[in-house]
Amino acid sequence: MSIGQRRTKLVFTTFEELVAEGRKEIRPGDITSRLRERNQPLSYWEVRGEFATLEAEGLISVHAETGAWRLVAAAARKVG
C-alpha cells in the first residue's frame, strides 16, 4: 500500500470514527485535531485533498450550503 493510500485510509477511518460518535457533519479541522491528538498530524490542506479523493470514490459528499462533509449513506465499503 502506498503512502497516499495509507493517508486516504487514515482520513476515512477517522471520518468514520467521528460519524460513529454521533457527528453528522465533518470539517477538515475535525480530522486534523483528532489526528494531532494521536500524534499523527496532517495539515489542513492534506486532509482537504483526501476529502476530494474520498468524494471522487463516492464515500463522502460536501453539503454545498454549509461546506461540511457527510458520509454517503451507501458508503458501507472501506477505502483501500
Q: State in words which class domain 3-71 has.
A: mainly alpha
pLDDT of residue 39: 96
Residue type, 73: A
* Low-confidence winner among 1-5, 14-18, 21-25, 54-58 (lowest mean pLDDT): 1-5
pLDDT of residue 62: 96
Tell me which residue of 41, 14, 8 sits closest to 27, measured CA to CA.
14
Q: What percent of the chain has pLDDT over 70?
A: 91
More confident residue, 1 or 63: 63
pLDDT of residue 73: 81
- Enumerate the domain spans of the chain: 3-71
